[in-house]
Amino acid sequence: MLITETSPSSPMGDEKESKMSQIQFSPPFEKQESTAWQKRQQAVCVRHAFKHYGSKKRPNHVLSNLNMTVSKGTIYGLLGASGCGKTTLLSCIVGRRSLNSGEIWVLGGKPGTKGSGVPGKRVGYMPQEIALYGEFTIKETMMYFGWIFGMETREIAERLRFLLDFLDLPSENRMVKNLSGGQQRRVSFAVALMHDPELLILDEPTVGVDPLLRQSIWMHLVRITSSGDKTVIITTHYIEEARQAHCIGLMRSGKLLAEESPQALLTMYSCISLEDVFLKLSRKQAGQGNNVVELNVSGGSLGLNKMSKREEAPYAAEDEHVVGLNFQAINQSKEVLIVENGVGSNGDLPGKMTEAVTNECKDCGDCFNLTSRGKIKALIQKNFLRMWRNIGVMLFIFVLPVMQVILFCLAIGRDPTALKLAIVNEDARLIDGECRFNSSCSMKNLSCRYLSFLTEHTHQIQYANLSAAQRAVREGDAWGVLYFNENYTDSLVARLALADTADEETVHLSDIQVWLDMSNQQIGLMLNRDIQYAYRDFAQDLLEVCKYNPKLGDIPIEFLDPIYGNKDPSFTDFVAPGVILTIVFFLAVALTSSALIVERMEGLLDRSWVAGVSPGEILFSHVVTQFVVMCGQTALVLIFMILVFGVENNGNIVYVIMLTIMQGLCGMCFGFVISAACELERNAIQLALGSFYPTLLLSGVIWPIEGMPLVLRYVSLCLPLTLATNSLRSILTRGWPFTDPDVYMGFVATLVWIAVFLTLTLTILKVKKN
Ligand SMILES: Nc1ncnc2c1ncn2[C@@H]1O[C@H](COP(=O)(O)OP(=O)(O)OP(=O)(O)O)[C@@H](O)[C@H]1O
């Protein structure tokens, strides 16, 4: 049978239509496996494809022995109910996912192999989701993808003008996030068309697009395929619009029910609409015992369809259940048909072999290039632009570290002041509420004289009796009680005068009795120290005014100038190195851990991957961006710590800067691991937060690791912050040089961790990609 009439609705040219019809309705070819050469000649050739999600034990089969052939220079409409596996199939075709078994040939090569150009610029992909950077303008979006595809800026600008006009897009300076849903879809479509690819893969491009524009999109697709060197695969839920495709693949339950031209399908099944054909075929498939659930075809679109468990079909010699003269005849590309007579029966290829084989390596100029300047420029600019346009991120990057440093320096390490002390002084009478004494060599009211040295951190409150004072401490109104008995001054004078002949009672009565609230270690120890220092100062002062050697009032141990640090060390100086590194490390973790996930969830990462960007390039662009951010953060943190708040630095500032930046990079790499490992942003946040406290507690930031149990100390030494903190502390407080093991080990450990995290990230990304 030879059908020569053309459909009135078909936008195809007469010549092409008649060629298709002739091919379609020639007597059937004998079914046989297509040869490797034949597979290469198709734009896309899928054979015996099996794909499942989930574990091997409980797999969710999505593709079951699917065969598909898309000839070059045609529009292939892939139709099927929601959830039947169209997107999965497309993502395997563009090299985003791998099949569990079976093979795919795209433009003569296998997707994902070197030189195939897929993923890469030979393919234009419009995913189902918008997958655009909301904070970019339309022009910036086009520039980004254009550069990734290796286009010149001038070329992109020209193409942009055409696409703006063709797709009826608003001003190129409009932000993508401010566009309507339909406009965003059109921008997404424009991105796929940007570089005029050989193979255009469009996943529901006409959703949310008005009928007029939908028609003009289809016209455009017909136009670009008419020359024979461009191919389009399109999925749509509007079945009837697929009449305009050259070939339709009706997909159901993970396999193709039919692969034919629309006209042929309508004629074969005597239907007036493709919906009816689909229904008939679905019923037929159901009748054949495939586990088919209700199919809803209404209003020209395919409704939701719940898929049931399927069995993987055994390999068949290309699918006998598929309607159409597929694989050997109708879908052979023009080239195949032309050279068909020259192909040996065994499939070996004489004449056109060279062209076909070289097809795979069309891109071989790029095979040995690790990356291109355009891609790196696009990726880095994208990272900066996203940061710059996002006020929250900018505040996070530059204001948060400064705030953290200021808060740390103001809130941590300073001595507590105005601590209430309850004084019960039965030794001296208060005059006008004051405890008066004579500051010359007088031996009267020595209790008042002593108390005059205990004022630095305390606020003294006089109590009439001991029980009232102790009650005040119990009730939290004071931190301690100091009790002077009524004979304190006399007993003290006697003790000093009698020395070793003083009796027990005299010695006892000359003691100041102290009860402290030691529930707060910092405050308790500080009051303890102040009370003792006050006595030393009081005794030395008294001895001095009475012309004795004041040293006799001190304990006979002389603390000379410390070798490192000063006599009154600050807790801030101890904690500051760890805090500097923790701030920079965890800000980097927070910034990077969600960045990749957000891109992945919005489909942006997929889109970039399909455009030919490799995980390595994405990581590299983030490393460069983060490095710049890190330099800024390090400068701010160190300026505030050292210059504004006077944290001690006795070492070489260059090493301090280097180590801080390296720790930031290390945090960034840890962030990469998190974002590669976690599917959801929520999980990434949990992991980043969850790792914060253990790292902080175990890295010797707030307490010396010498205080830990031995096993924990070894664990601590293995963490990324421990040796680095120790190194920075040695530089800042001791001024040690780089050659000191304590110092260089911090650098070495940081480098090792960076390498470990990067390797982990790349491994996870590769595993996930497969
Ligand atoms: N990443 C994934 N992990 C697990 N299951 C998945 C994943 N992606 C898709 N699936 C499942 O695979 C099946 C096919 O999904 P797919 O997105 O390929 O269908 P589709 O035909 O494109 O649907 P639609 O027309 O609604 O976009 C669905 O059951 C879906 O739930």
Domain boundaries of the chain, sorted by first residue: 36-122+197-369, 378-410+570-769, 419-553
Task: Give, in words, the CATH class of 419-553.
Answer: alpha beta
304 or 254, which is more confident? 254
Residue that the structure tokens 């086009």 belong to: 142
Can you tell me the distance from the alpha carbon of 765 to that of 768, in angstroms, rounded to the nearest whole number?
A: 5
Contacts of 67 (CB under 8 A, 6+ apart): 46, 47, 48, 49, 255, 256, 318, 319, 322, 326, 327
With CA atoms as reference, report the closest residue to 149 among 110, 183, 198, 108: 198
Does residue 61 have a pLDDT over 60? Answer: yes
Do residues 466 and 478 make contact, with C-beta atoms less than 8 angstroms apart?
A: no
Q: What average pLDDT does this structure show over 680-687?
A: 90
Does residue 311 have a pLDDT over 70? Answer: no
Among 51, 87, 297, which is best to mutate for testing ligand 1, by the most ligand atoms less than 8 A from CB? 87
- Cα within 13 Å of Cα(639), Cβ side: 10
Does residue 4 have a pLDDT over 80? Answer: no
pLDDT by residue (tens digit) across 117-129?
Answer: 788 888 999 998 8
Does residue 341 have a pLDDT over 70? Answer: no
Can you tell me the distance from the alpha carbon of 651 to that of 729, in angstroms, rounded to the nearest whole number?
A: 10
CA distances from 206 to 79, 94, 189, 202, 608 (A): 13, 20, 9, 9, 22
- Dihedral over alpha carbons 597, 601, 606, 608 (to 10 degrees): -60
pLDDT by residue (tens digit) across 415-430?
Answer: 999 999 999 999 998 8
Does residue 336 have a pLDDT over 80? Answer: no
Does residue 31 have a pLDDT over 80? Answer: no
334 or 536, which is more confident? 536
Residue whose Cα lies nearest atom 9 of ligand 1: it is: 88
Residues in the chain: 770
Alpha carbon 583 to its chain's center: 18
Q: Regarding the domain delimited by 36-122+197-369, which CATH topology (the fold level of the hierarchy) does it fall under?
A: Rossmann fold (3.40.50)
Alpha carbon 346 to its chain's center: 51
In the chain, % of residues over pLDDT 70: 83
Band of pLDDT at residue 68, cut at 50, 70 and 90: very high
Does residue 318 have a pLDDT over 60? Answer: no
Range in 208-217, 402-411, 722-731 with the lowest mean pLDDT: 208-217
Neighbours of 293 (CB within 10 A): 11
Can you tell me the distance from the alpha carbon of 448 to that of 463, in angstroms, rounded to the nearest whole number?
A: 14
pLDDT by residue (tens digit) across 287-300?
Answer: 665 443 333 333 44
Does residue 186 have a pLDDT over 60? Answer: yes
Q: What average pLDDT does this structure show over 708-731?
A: 96
pLDDT of residue 459: 96
Alpha-helix residue ranges (DSSP H) falling in 199-312: 211-226, 262-268, 274-287
Residue whose Cα lies nearest atom 20 of ligand 1: it is: 83
**Whether the bond into 119 is cis, omega within 30 of 0:** yes
301 lines ligand 1 (CB under 6 A): no
pLDDT of residue 700: 94
- Cα within 13 Å of Cα(389), Cβ side: 15
268 or 448, which is more confident? 448
- Dihedral over alpha carbons 599, 127, 59, 102 (to 10 degrees): -120
Q: How many angstroms does the Cα of residue 84 sit away from the middle of ligand 1?
A: 7
Q: How many angstroms does the Cα of residue 53 sit away from the middle of ligand 1?
A: 9
Band of pLDDT at residue 355, cut at 50, 70 and 90: very low
User: What 3-state class would DSSP assign to 710?
Assistant: helix
pLDDT of residue 371: 65
With CA atoms as reference, report the closest residue to 77 among 216, 267, 266, 274: 274
Q: What angle do CA 414, 420, 421 make, to 5 degrees?
A: 115
86 lines ligand 1 (CB under 6 A): yes
pLDDT of residue 5: 33
Q: Which atom of ligand 1 is nearest to the CA of 91?
A: 18
Residue whose Cα lies nearest atom 30 of ligand 1: it is: 83
Can you tell me the distance from the alpha carbon of 749 to that of 305, in angstroms, rounded to the nearest whole number?
A: 55
- Strand arrangement of the beta sheet that strand 480-484 belongs to: 458-462, 419-425, 480-484, 513-516
pLDDT by residue (tens digit) across 81-99?
Answer: 888 899 999 989 988 888 8
- Structural tokens at position 170: 């608003």
Contacts of 18 (CB under 8 A, 6+ apart): 4, 6
Rg (CA), the chain: 40
Do residues 47 and 39 make contact, with C-beta atoms less than 8 angstroms apart?
A: yes
Does residue 28 have a pLDDT over 50? Answer: no
Residue that the structure tokens 């419009």 belong to: 126
* Sequential DSSP letters for 44-57: EEEEEEEEEES-SS
Can you tell me the distance from the alpha carbon of 509 to that of 484, in angstroms, rounded to the nearest whole number?
A: 8
User: What 3-state class would DSSP assign to 523?
Assistant: helix
Q: What average pLDDT does this structure show over 622-647?
A: 92
Range in 34-43, 136-145, 523-532, 651-660 with the lowest mean pLDDT: 34-43
Q: How many angstroms does the Cα of residue 420 sit away from the middle of ligand 1?
A: 69
Can you tell me the distance from the alpha carbon of 596 to that of 605, in angstroms, rounded to the nearest whole number?
A: 8
- Tell me the range of 196-210, 305-319, 647-661 where mean pLDDT is highest: 647-661
- Structural tokens at position 133: 């950077």
Contacts of 299 (CB under 8 A, 6+ apart): none
What's the chain's average pLDDT? Answer: 83
Angle between helices 722-729 and 710-717 (to 10 degrees): 80
83 lines ligand 1 (CB under 6 A): yes
Can you tell me the distance from the alpha carbon of 446 to that of 651, in angstroms, rounded to the nearest whole number?
A: 47
Q: Dihedral sign, CA of 135, 139, 142, 143? A: negative
Does residue 168 have a pLDDT over 80? Answer: yes
Residue 421's beta-bridge partner residues? 460, 480
